[in-house]
């Protein structure tokens, strides 16, 4: 995987989440290097991300519903090689 793959993936994730949830706050953090040697890890990163997002779109949703909504929005990334996604949603 090219060295710039991780920033490109983070940018795509952020753009997708902004379009789907219009968050008040959003952080997309590449944690791939912390998982070096684990399942799904690839040279160059872009495999393991943490998302911290605050959005009014989550109001009234359970934790599971928020998680499912984010996974649905990022389905394309997950099918394209995103291996792990840690979520902190409110």
CA–CA separation, 36 vs 48, rounded Å?
10
Q: pLDDT tens digits for the chain (90 residues)?
A: 444 556 688 999 999 999 999 999 999 998 876 655 565 555 555 688 999 999 999 999 999 999 999 999 999 999 987 888 999 999
Q: Please tell me the predicted confidence (pLDDT) of residue 75.
A: 96
Which CATH superfamily does the domain covering 5-29+41-89 fall into?
A: BolA-like (3.30.300.90)
The C-alpha angle 30, 63, 27, rounded to 5 degrees, equals 25
Q: Please tell me the predicted confidence (pLDDT) of residue 40.
A: 53
Please report, for the chain, the start and end positions of each structural domain, with discontinuous segments joined by +.
5-29+41-89
In this structure, are strands 48-54 and 25-30 parallel, antiparallel, or unpaired?
antiparallel
Q: Please tell me the predicted confidence (pLDDT) of residue 48.
A: 84
């Amino acid at each position: 995987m090219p060295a710039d793959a991780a920033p490109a993936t983070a940018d795509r994730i952020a753009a997708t989440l902004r379009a789907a949830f219009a968050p008040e706050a959003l952080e997309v953090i590449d944690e791939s290097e912390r998982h070096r040697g684990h399942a799904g890890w690839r040279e160059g990163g872009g495999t393991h991300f943490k998302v911290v997002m605050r959005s009014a779109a989550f109001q009234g949703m359970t934790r599971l519903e928020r998680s499912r909504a984010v996974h649905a929005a990022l389905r394309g990334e997950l099918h394209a090689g995103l291996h792990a996604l840690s979520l902190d949603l409110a």
